[in-house]
């Protein structure tokens, strides 16, 4: 058996040439697949980096929104801000990054910063509806309602068909007591008034604030498909102001029934409303006085509200005299309550002071015995005993 095969010189040279050619081919393939794409990537590195920064920032933003605990949420938002701040340095991702930085600021309660970020976008792009909405809402949070109003007005000029933005604009107008303007804005969204409870209720309240008769119908329409004791009381008030006393009394009593048992203060105020209505609508009887007396016995203590009834010319002279008597009783009870509270406070302060004095005056029993002369201290232990008593006294005083 032959272990080696004889190879001629010519065959060896051909093998060397083939190997060299193969290495050349590999080199070309490496350049095409690796080096050239790398060099090409360097040319567009700025744009790609901005997009990557933005993607990373939004990934961390989404994690922050999904986080359940505050520390994890803060951690992800902080990381998102880092990447978005890098992305905003490039024009291509500047506005999007600024907008989402504003969202993070809003989510974390930094409303002034959020508003400033959204408004910086509007300086470059005044027709950016997302930034307009966000700036308006942020200014509501900072308490600068006039600025919010201006942003919503600009927004509705761009998208007048947006019922949601119309509602928000009307809500801002209502907040700054521009009730007629709020009603006018909502009038432009008839479909929303028919199908959106929030819009209809705001519409009713804007009408009520102007003292319009139509407010009663708007409230009644809302209450057909909704149940809320506060809104029902508002409805009763508008009925009372229009002198529909019987209907108003029904609504007040219905609201009293709807109120939850833990809302004691609201119940007392509603009972006062019923008493006031009875004093006005049925002034010849004492029904209003009885209702008010029961409310006072149950805890109603608004003396100023009762005193204001004395100015109402519709209440009979007999009931006015009864009101004066009731007011005097309320004032007497108030004074007695204040005196009792002051006495309780003084007693508590005296007890606290006595406790401190007692702790400071506690003496070592052995020391007390020596002072009385009942026990003779050893001569050789005097110094030691004296030091021990001082330390004991200091400890007792410290306690």
Separation CA 188–CA 127 (nearest Å) = 22
Q: Do domains 48-110+119-142 and 173-256 have the same CATH topology?
A: yes
- Spatial neighbors of 76 by CB under 8 A, at least 6 apart, are 60, 61, 63, 64, 67
Decide yes or no: CATH 2.60.40 for domain 173-256: no
Q: What is the pTM of this model?
A: 0.64
- Strand locations in the chain (E): none
CATH class assigned to 48-110+119-142: mainly alpha
Give the residue from 151, 191, 190 showing the smallest Cα distance to 168. 151
Return per-residue pLDDT of the chain as tens, 399 residues.
333 333 333 443 344 334 443 444 333 333 334 333 433 443 344 444 778 888 888 888 999 889 888 999 899 999 888 888 888 888 788 889 999 999 999 999 999 999 999 999 999 999 999 999 999 999 999 999 999 999 999 999 999 888 889 999 999 999 999 999 999 999 988 888 888 899 999 999 999 999 999 999 999 999 999 999 999 999 999 999 999 999 999 999 999 988 876 577 789 999 999 999 999 999 889 999 999 999 999 999 999 999 999 999 999 999 999 999 999 999 999 999 999 999 999 988 888 888 766 655 555 544 444 444 444 433 334 333 333 332 333 333 343
Which of these, 131, 138, 129, 132, lies nearest to 108 by C-alpha position? 138
Give me the residue spans of the domains in the chain: 48-110+119-142, 173-256, 259-347
Q: Are 138 and 114 in contact (CB under 8 A)?
A: yes
Measuring CA to CA, how many Å separate 98 from each of 47, 82, 147?
17, 12, 20
């Amino acid at each position: 058996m032959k272990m080696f095969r004889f190879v001629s010189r010519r065959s060896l040279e051909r093998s060397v040439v083939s190997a060299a050619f193969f290495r050349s081919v590999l080199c070309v393939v490496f350049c095409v697949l690796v080096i050239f794409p790398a060099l090409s990537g360097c040319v567009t590195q700025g744009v790609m980096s901005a997009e990557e920064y933005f993607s990373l920032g939004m990934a961390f933003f989404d994690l922050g929104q999904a986080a359940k605990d505050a520390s994890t949420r803060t951690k992800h938002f902080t990381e998102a801000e880092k990447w978005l701040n890098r992305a905003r340095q490039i024009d291509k991702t500047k506005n999007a990054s600024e907008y989402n930085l504003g969202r993070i600021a809003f989510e974390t309660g930094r409303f002034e910063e959020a508003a400033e970020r959204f408004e910086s976008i509007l300086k470059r792009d005044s027709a950016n509806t997302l930034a307009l909405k966000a700036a308006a809402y942020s200014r509501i949070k900072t308490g600068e309602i006039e600025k919010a109003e201006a942003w919503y007005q600009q927004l509705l000029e761009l998208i007048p068909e947006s019922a949601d933005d119309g509602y928000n604009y009307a809500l801002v107008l209502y907040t700054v007591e521009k009730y007629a303007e709020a009603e006018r804005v909502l009038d432009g969204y008839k479909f929303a008034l028919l199908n959106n409870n929030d819009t209809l209720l705001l519409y009713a309240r804007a009408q009520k604030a102007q003292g319009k008769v139509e407010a009663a119908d708007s409230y009644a329409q809302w209450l057909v498909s909704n149940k809320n004791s506060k809104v029902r009381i508002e409805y009763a008030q508008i009925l009372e102001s229009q002198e529909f006393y019987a209907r108003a009394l029904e609504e007040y009593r219905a609201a009293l029934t709807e109120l939850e048992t833990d809302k004691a203060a609201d119940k007392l105020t509603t009972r006062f409303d019923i008493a006031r209505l009875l004093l006005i609508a049925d002034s010849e009887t004492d029904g209003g006085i009885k209702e008010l007396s029961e409310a006072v016995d149950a805890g109603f203590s608004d003396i100023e509200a009762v005193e204001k009834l004395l100015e109402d010319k519709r209440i009979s002279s007999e009931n006015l005299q009864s009101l004066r008597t009731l007011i005097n009783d309320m004032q007497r009870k108030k004074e007695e309550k204040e005196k009792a509270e002051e006495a309780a406070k003084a007693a508590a302060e005296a007890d606290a002071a006595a406790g401190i004095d007692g702790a400071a005056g506690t003496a070592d029993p052995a020391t007390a015995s020596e002072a009385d002369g009942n026990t003779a201290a050893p001569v050789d232990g005097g110094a030691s005993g004296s030091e021990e008593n001082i330390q004991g006294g200091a400890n007792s005083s410290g306690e």
